[in-house]
């Protein structure tokens, strides 16, 4: 290592604990009360039969910021493709999986997936985060 330069692993020790295929999941049920509260906070009046997409996106945000990679994560971008509506009172399981690690830039690519009852695909996609820890 040349003078004045430090190895990325020395600067970002927690980054080096990550591995491709690491994953984290969370399961959440959004009941009518939770949706009413969200609609009131978002100033949205109508009551629909499906869980709003931003609440599903929030599950991924929670996972990225709290579990994988965790604290110190900066969300750069996310793509989501919705395949089916998430039903009220349906258990939803959101999962993030590391697909690529770029130590030179402290970037982490992840696949994202949300399923409902019986493994029914609600949405899938990918996310890119900066993990400077």
Q: Which helix (H) or strand (E) holds 66?
A: helix 53-66
Choice between 48 and 68, residue whose per-residue pLDDT is larger = 68
Q: Helix (H, G, I), strand (E, B), or coil: what is residue 14? A: coil
How far apart (Å, rounded) are the C-alpha atoms in residues 127 and 112? 7
| Model pTM score | 0.88
pLDDT of residue 123: 98
Is the per-residue pLDDT at 58 higher than 80? yes
């Amino acid at each position: 290592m040349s003078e004045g330069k430090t190895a990325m692993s020395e600067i970002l020790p927690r980054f080096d604990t990550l591995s491709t295929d690491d994953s984290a999941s969370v399961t959440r049920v959004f009941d009518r009360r939770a949706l009413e509260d969200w609609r009131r906070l978002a100033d949205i009046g109508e009551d629909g039969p499906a869980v709003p997409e931003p609440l599903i996106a929030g599950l991924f945000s929670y996972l990225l910021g709290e579990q994988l990679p965790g604290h110190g994560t900066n969300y750069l971008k996310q793509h989501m493709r919705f395949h089916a509506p998430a039903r009220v009172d349906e258990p939803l399981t959101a999962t993030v999986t590391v697909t690529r690690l770029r130590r030179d830039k402290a970037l982490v690519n992840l696949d994202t997936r949300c399923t409902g009852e019986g493994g029914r695909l609600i949405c899938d996609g990918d996310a890119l985060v900066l993990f400077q820890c």
